[in-house]
C-alpha cells in the first residue's frame, strides 16, 4: 500500500505497516489516555516512523 509519504532521511517511498500499536500517556485532566498508532517504513533505508492515529486525543481537557 502506497502512502504518498516520503522518508525524512533519504526521501524514498514509505509503506504503511499492517500491525497497529498503542500509545498511553497522561492527559491534561490528569487521566491517562490511550490511542492507536500505525507505523510507516521506508523501503529505501529501513527508517521506521510511528504515528498516533488520533494525536489530539491526549490533548483533550474534558
Ligand atoms: Zn529512507
Q: What is the pLDDT of residues 6-54, one digit of tens each?
A: 999 999 999 999 999 999 988 888 888 889 999 999 999 999 999 998 8
| pLDDT computed for residue 53 by the predictor | 87
Report CA dihedral (31, 35, 39, 40) to the nearest 10 degrees. Answer: -100
Distance 33 CA to ligand 1 centre (A): 31
Q: Is pLDDT of 62 > 60?
A: no
**Protein residues near ligand 1, an ion, with CB under 5 A:** 7, 9-10, 12, 42, 44-45, 47
Q: Which residue has the higher pLDDT, 56 or 39?
A: 39
Give me the pLDDT at residue 61, please.
56
Residue showing cell 507505523:
39
In this structure, what is the dihedral angle of CA atoms 36, 37, 38, 44, given to the nearest 10 degrees? -170
Amino acid at each position: 500500500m502506497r502512502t504518498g509519504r516520503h522518508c525524512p532521511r533519504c526521501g524514498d517511498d514509505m509503506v504503511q505497516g499492517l500491525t497497529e500499536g498503542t500509545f498511553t500517556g497522561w492527559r491534561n485532566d490528569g487521566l491517562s489516555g490511550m490511542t492507536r498508532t500505525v507505523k510507516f517504513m521506508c523501503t529505501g533505508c529501513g527508517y521506521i516512523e510511528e504515528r498516533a492515529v488520533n494525536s489530539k486525543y491526549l490533548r483533550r481537557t474534558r
